[in-house]
Each structure stands twice: as C-alpha cells, then as structure tokens.
C-alpha cells in the first residue's frame, strides 16, 4: 500500500524518472545490499537524467532540424589531399 501511494505521489509531483527508477529497484533482488543513501542517490540521479533527456528532446523538437546528423557522420579530408588510409 505504501509503495503504491509513493508512486502516485511521485507522479503527482511530476517525478516520473524517479518513479520509474523506484519500480526498477523494487524488481532487483540485489538492491537490498545497498544502503539507503546509495539507493536514494540512484533515484535522484535517474530523475536528473530523465529531466535532462526530456529537455534535450524538447530542444531538438523545437529546432525543427531537417536532417539528423551526428559527429560520426562528418568526414573531413586532410588539407593536403592525403588519405590516412595506407594502400599497398
């Protein structure tokens, strides 16, 4: 009963990341080996990451980028025209 109420209150406070982490902790059998501070730190870290990820997703959505790209997609040729790949 207390667990369900806690999840409802976390959701009401818009702490969805922490609620998800709490559910995951409850399913893990080895989580009881951690002390209270460690478990609380894990919950807080999870909420922080959840919020940061949502903020990033919102910024990307509002940016309305036409193409998705990453740094790995960029190819820069050496200025002298030489390739770093050796051919035999």
Three-state DSSP class for residue 87: coil
Cβ of 69: how many Cβ atoms within 10 Å? 9
**C-beta separation of 18 from 10 below 8 A:** yes
Helices (H) and strands (E) in the chain, counts: 3, 0
The token duo for 87 is 């051919």
Three-state DSSP class for residue 9: helix
Q: What is the pLDDT along the chain (88 residues), one digit of tens a residue?
A: 698 999 999 999 999 999 999 999 999 989 989 999 999 999 999 999 999 999 999 999 999 988 877 777 777 777 766 555 545 4
| Residue 51 CA, distance from chain mean position | 8
The token duo for 35 is 């002390």
């Amino acid at each position: 009963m207390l667990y369900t109420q806690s999840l409802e209150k976390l959701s009401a406070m818009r702490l969805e990341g922490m609620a998800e982490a709490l559910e995951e902790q409850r399913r893990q059998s080895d989580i009881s080996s951690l002390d209270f501070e460690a478990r609380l730190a894990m919950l807080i870290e999870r909420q922080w990451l959840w919020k940061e990820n949502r903020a990033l997703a919102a910024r990307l959505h509002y940016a309305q980028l036409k193409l998705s790209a990453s740094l790995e997609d960029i190819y820069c040729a050496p200025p002298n025209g030489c390739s770093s790949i050796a051919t035999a």
